[in-house]
């Protein structure tokens, strides 16, 4: 099974898409739509300080009747960020995401964010890995 670093290396690298905590939520929504993603890293002074996701928007803006133009990211972001190490295996990331009920997992090494994986990234890699195992087993059986 691959490491998270291997998955990050194979992703179409757009760089780390992020937003500052001092920006309005509306700006984050524009970025999410532009890149067709579900979450943004919240970066302050080069450090990961939170994540802002569509889930945060739904729960903290829509359901609370707040304005996305006047509410700051820092007010509604998830600030208890669960991260992974680039050397972690995909299976470990999948387990973390399922146990913690999260859809986005920042990969961090020595305090520096290397990238973000979605549950879709991890699921795709898991399926690819299982299909390769099946192919190898079928090859072994038929030889």
- Residue 142 confidence (pLDDT): 85
Residues of the chain above pLDDT 70, percent: 98
- Assigned CATH topology for domain 4-142: CBS-domain (3.10.580)
Q: What is the pLDDT of residues 74-107, one digit of tens each?
A: 999 999 999 999 999 999 999 999 999 999 999 9
The continuous run of DSSP H or E covering 48 comes out as strand 47-53
Ordered by start, the domain boundaries in the chain are: 4-142
Spatial neighbors of 106 by CB under 8 A, at least 6 apart, are 41, 48, 51, 81, 83, 84, 113, 115, 116
Question: Structure pTM?
Answer: 0.87
């Amino acid at each position: 099974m691959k490491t998270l670093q291997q998955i990050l290396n194979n992703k179409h690298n757009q760089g780390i898409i992020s937003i500052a905590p001092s920006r309005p939520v509306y700006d984050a929504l524009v970025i999410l739509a532009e890149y067709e993603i579900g979450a943004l890293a919240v970066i302050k002074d080069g450090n990961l300080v939170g994540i802002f996701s569509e889930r945060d928007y739904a729960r903290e803006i829509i359901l609370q009747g707040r304005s996305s133009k006047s509410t700051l990211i820092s007010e509604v972001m998830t600030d208890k960020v669960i991260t992974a190490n680039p050397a972690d295996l995909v299976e470990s990331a999948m387990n973390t995401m399922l146990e913690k009920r999260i859809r986005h997992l920042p990969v961090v090494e020595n305090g520096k964010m290397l990238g973000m994986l979605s549950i879709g990234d991890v699921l795709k890699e898991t399926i690819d890995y299982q299909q390769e195992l099946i192919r190898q087993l079928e090859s072994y059986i038929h030889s």
